[in-house]
Structure 1
């Protein structure tokens, strides 16, 4: 039979194709038919959307395409994993309405592909159910699914406290107690490792495919609900007493991020969360996230265009956020070494991030060096240079490698690196009056500490008090390296291990310390760019411009001190979970009274002609004009514009980035 020739979809009615899987069983040929339906009425067909990994092109399967009169008119070659999924999904006595991208989208028509990709998030949300096809089952899958059900029957998630607890006062406390290992033998852990390593879990597109609650996971004939997958993955990922099972724990942590996706975060948050996820087309690093981000994110308006190069797309994304949101936060995703994936790096401006590769360094949590400021920037010279407004805060005086010796076990190697970096400094007092032990703990983890949350601290973050105690132990008693670790000590070492990856320790000419990309060297500049929340390391290109070398953590300027001065005595900035936004938002906490403020106490009164408007049920406000004219950037603070800050005495300069 001839291969399938797709009939074009109608754009007037926003058509999609529904795949009708015809009855069959066993190894009998797979027969299907395609139906064009307007998207707005597709939900009436009660279709199910399949989420799966495409897999390698070798050994494809062939399906028979039929008409409503049951005549076989053509065939379609599909990859083996989807073919086996359809075999498992088909019914013996009736048709099944499905949607699968490899079949329902003409993959050879770039225009149609872009149009359908733009609609994919809604296609999955509208489906009666999403079926996650993990592949054929093997013995390991059977063991792993039994263990998943076993764990789920013994624990539950307590949402108010963000804790895993036993379902009843069980004698077997090892299920929920983070200090106790799970009672699995080598074979069972190997099965868990095999199951959580299946290709689906590493795909980028799946993040937007399972946002809805009606999701079932299928592995051969086995099934698991989304609720069980989420509960078990969260439980295992928090087990810090499983040092030999770190790969499974990390895999479960990644699964948890996928399953607990909130369609309310920023593009940058999702870029950081999905950087290890896999996709075959580098442009999908952006397109696969469009359906996930907050409705207010301007990236939702960027229609997929597969005729555009990845470099052109990444440039457009930066400029889209600059023009539509007054932001340059994506500059913190730039790094000169990250551009190695581009074929010719000499002509690519360093202000264009390369999203096709994982970042060299970990996200700096909660950086607010110029929170709610409005970018003041423009593109020069046919798009090659970006002129920004900012301040050159300090010059780097010296650097010290943070290298963690990979020949040692990771906890030992990390502890030794901490000793080497901190022992010469720990007895000092930092320039802002803080103890050096606190400053070092925050620098070593890029400030990933429990006290940066005003409520419901992240259970995976170390406690600052216990971290300081352990730091003193390591520096005062070198022989303590290699001793048994508490869960808090393990947590601290894990976060230091991650935070120091590809970073160097540095000191500025005026005594500030921090961590920066390992390519940083003496003479580089620490700069604050309006509209970018994280300080950047810049270097002269010898032509009057500067190049971006990456983001950095500088203790003492991460809360906006370089623009607004220090916080009033007794106040600190923290994060509070916003129920409406599904994300952390900054608040200001008084250490003695516990009073919370959603506005920075340093900012003072609003400019004439502005007023506050309640934004959400968490009492955050946005700023609107009294004359009713819509602000150009509604999410920005009028007290944090270039002009307003200059009126406070801040001296900006043009910083041109090449």
Structure 2
């Protein structure tokens, strides 16, 4: 009988159970690193085949000839993972043996390579599954459990590549997930691994949901020189089946995975695979580019709900379409990916290290640190690096939607999810749409220092300066009022009526309108819209608000006064002598379109389950987090361009969340006086 190490470059051979038993007896001792088959149990009545794993390996696997699915081997991790050199930037690659039949066992060899010298390979991007690994492949002579997505991809791609032996980098296989050292080390290399891959294979799952119709349309919508954007839109609108199928593809769980972000963004070339179907990722990017141009879709989106759903689905993957240069800014990658999922919450940061080099200065991947400590250290470092408090605009009270309460300080963003977060406040601060604290560059220079952070009485504290401007008097949730006429009517009567007889406050109506569409200014500033475009949009939205009021309550002089209060309306009167004449001259269909546009913009605020509307003792109206309560404070905090809702907690204050508050978004609170005539000024407070 041949000894296992001697079968290199030979085989396969057939053996009886007795033959294999004698082979095991003369082979390496059980428990040694070379013991491959010595503890297997062989059935006397069966015949087996012994096959070498690879031409350059002494490993072998055993299979019963009468049972193709019975593959035997040792489950020995030490045979799979060998130590890596950090100085040589070593990583592992998986080479798969060719197989003509799809039912053949998947056999592979895991070997070391260096990022300075490596063979061609493809990196695989796929969705991790929480369920138990349900499939087994053979790696280096060892049975190795893998997730279903990995198994399905390898099975499909092996057939497509036959007779070649494709080489892959697959994180769940090539990184020893049971070794904290291996994970810490390899996570730092992952960005380079994906960027140097010949291609990134994006596996979104098996073929279903009319996937073929989706891929046909995606191929039609690929970028082509000289093809106008409107022709791409026409292709989509003409193909309802294909468009709905694309929407289904973009709703798959794959797109919710955190690690996918860097895997796609860093790819020099990427291909999307769905079973046997495939398309270049560049086609998806181009379709996203066209989909983002709102004016091309406005009419069709109003006509067809499935066009609206398609654009919403495209928006869900927009963050995957940013460039590597755009990904260098922390806020460009941290918050757009915050809703994505990962099994380890710390990966909300660690998964971005490869794509955002700015994070290298403030984040060290350490899987031995707690989630709370990782998030707190990051928030502190980011605030010091930014020199301001904009990071708190995505922090606040704990939300169960993000997971169990891990006792984060209220000023530390819970990066596990978007529960309770309205990203538009940060966006407005980021593009200078708001300046509540007067910290615009020409007005004030603000910087946080290490000394502003301390630990005391078990609390993580940040020292800030704030104007405690007003107190919340009433509050109520906003969710769903854009879709419900009765709820919207009741809200307007509650917050805008002066008396029980239904007389409305023109000032309150205006405050409500501006609060409901406050994010519209952020959008227009971000897109660097001209002043004329901003005025035109405001004109349409104000007319839409007016039309909605008239339909809910009937015509009223107060509603005309509301329109006259908008400079954008009166400056655009043209040939009309007055607002009433202008309204009478408007086409009813156009007024209804204005109303639909207004409700669409208002829905961005009111459809969020985390939103609430409140009034203050000082007579202001605001939009804030749903968890605001009576007696919470409205504060202007130096270094934060958006007002904050705070809640007193012993000698400290807890952050409730950011808020839109009428009349103080552009620094009006600075230098103002309270109800007693006292000058308001900043005072030192502590957030916990």
What TM-score do the two structures reach when normalised by structure 2? Answer: 0.70
In the alignment, is the contact (CA less than 8 A) between 1:451 and 1:464 conserved in 2? no
* Match of residue 608 from structure 1: none
Out of 447, 456, 463, the position equivalent to 2:519 is 447
Which residues of 2 match residues 367-386 of structure 1 at below 5 A?
367=429, 368-369=435-436, 370-371=439-440, 373-375=446-448, 377-381=452-456, 384-386=459-461
Please say which of residues 94-103 and 334-343 is displaced more in the overlay.
Answer: 334-343
* Match of residue 539 from structure 2: 465
**Aligned positions, number:** 540
| Unpaired runs of at least 5, structure 1 | 67-72, 159-163, 168-172, 177-181, 566-648
Please state whether the residue corresponding to 2:311 is helix, strand or coil.
helix
The structure-2 alpha-carbon separation of the partners of 1:545 and 1:382, relative to structure 1 and needing over 3 Å to count, comes to closer
Please state whether the residue corresponding to 1:264 is helix, strand or coil.
helix
Which residues of 2 match residues 642-653 of structure 1 at below 5 A?
651-653=681-683
- The offset of 1:528, in angstroms, is 2.6
Q: Separation in 1 of the partners of 2:593 and 2:88? A: 57
Q: Separation in 2 of the partners of 1:259 and 1:507? A: 40
Please state whether the residue corresponding to 2:117 is helix, strand or coil.
helix
- The offset of 1:123, in angstroms, is 1.5
* Match of residue 32 from structure 1: 108
Q: CA-to-partner distance for each residue in 1:222-250, whole Å, 9 max, x for gaps?
A: 11112211233455575433335654432
Q: Separation in 1 of the partners of 2:553 and 2:509? A: 22
Out of 314, 325, 341, the position equivalent to 1:252 is 314
In the alignment, is the contact (CA less than 8 A) between 1:332 and 1:551 conserved in 2? yes
Out of 150, 155, 178, the position equivalent to 1:108 is 178
2:285 corresponds to 1:230: yes
- The offset of 1:280, in angstroms, is 1.4
In the alignment, is the contact (CA less than 8 A) between 2:271 and 2:281 conserved in 1? yes
In the alignment, is the contact (CA less than 8 A) between 1:442 and 1:448 conserved in 2? no
Which residues of 2 match residues 201-212 of structure 1 at below 5 A?
201-211=255-265, 212=267
The structure-2 alpha-carbon separation of the partners of 1:104 and 1:512, relative to structure 1 and needing over 3 Å to count, comes to same
Please say which of residues 513-522 and 10-19 is displaced more in the overlay.
Answer: 513-522
2:189 corresponds to 1:119: yes
Please state whether the residue corresponding to 1:204 is helix, strand or coil.
coil
Q: CA-to-partner distance for each residue in 1:300-342, whole Å, 9 max, x for gaps?
A: 5412111111111111111212344433322222222426756
Please state whether the residue corresponding to 2:230 is helix, strand or coil.
strand
Q: CA-to-partner distance for each residue in 1:581-617, whole Å, 9 max, x for gaps?
A: xxxxxxxxxxxxxxxxxxxxxxxxxxxxxxxxxxxxx
Please state whether the residue corresponding to 1:398 is helix, strand or coil.
strand
2:275 corresponds to 1:214: no
Out of 198, 211, 220, the position equivalent to 1:141 is 211
2:432 corresponds to 1:360: no
Out of 370, 382, 392, the position equivalent to 1:321 is 382
| Unpaired runs of at least 5, structure 2 | 1-72, 430-434, 556-587, 673-678
* Match of residue 82 from structure 2: 7
The structure-2 alpha-carbon separation of the partners of 1:491 and 1:228, relative to structure 1 and needing over 3 Å to count, comes to farther
Q: CA-to-partner distance for each residue in 1:451-506, whole Å, 9 max, x for gaps?
A: 42473589999922211110111112328999999776545433322323222222
Out of 618, 625, 635, the position equivalent to 1:527 is 635
- The offset of 1:257, in angstroms, is 2.6
The structure-2 alpha-carbon separation of the partners of 1:58 and 1:389, relative to structure 1 and needing over 3 Å to count, comes to closer
Please state whether the residue corresponding to 1:538 is helix, strand or coil.
strand
* Match of residue 617 from structure 2: 509
What TM-score do the two structures reach when normalised by structure 1? Answer: 0.73
Please state whether the residue corresponding to 1:498 is helix, strand or coil.
helix
Q: Separation in 2 of the partners of 1:353 and 1:340? A: 14
Please say which of residues 324-333 and 261-270 is displaced more in the overlay.
Answer: 261-270
The structure-2 alpha-carbon separation of the partners of 1:258 and 1:484, relative to structure 1 and needing over 3 Å to count, comes to farther
Please state whether the residue corresponding to 1:146 is helix, strand or coil.
helix
Q: Separation in 2 of the partners of 1:276 and 1:484? A: 37
Q: Separation in 2 of the partners of 1:106 and 1:283? A: 18
In the alignment, is the contact (CA less than 8 A) between 1:196 and 1:252 conserved in 2? yes
* Match of residue 200 from structure 1: 254
In the alignment, is the contact (CA less than 8 A) between 1:336 and 1:549 conserved in 2? yes
* Match of residue 518 from structure 1: 626
The structure-2 alpha-carbon separation of the partners of 1:396 and 1:266, relative to structure 1 and needing over 3 Å to count, comes to farther
2:351 corresponds to 1:288: yes
- The offset of 1:529, in angstroms, is 2.6
Q: CA-to-partner distance for each residue in 1:541-591, whole Å, 9 max, x for gaps?
A: 1x21111111111233334444599xxxxxxxxxxxxxxxxxxxxxxxxxx
* Match of residue 656 from structure 2: 549
Q: CA-to-partner distance for each residue in 1:110-141, whole Å, 9 max, x for gaps?
A: 12112211221221112222110112213621
The structure-2 alpha-carbon separation of the partners of 1:412 and 1:287, relative to structure 1 and needing over 3 Å to count, comes to farther
* Match of residue 144 from structure 2: 76
Tell me the C-alpha RMSD between the 2 structures.
3.7
- The offset of 1:34, in angstroms, is 2.0
* Match of residue 334 from structure 1: 395
Please say which of residues 299-308 and 310-319 is displaced more in the overlay.
Answer: 299-308
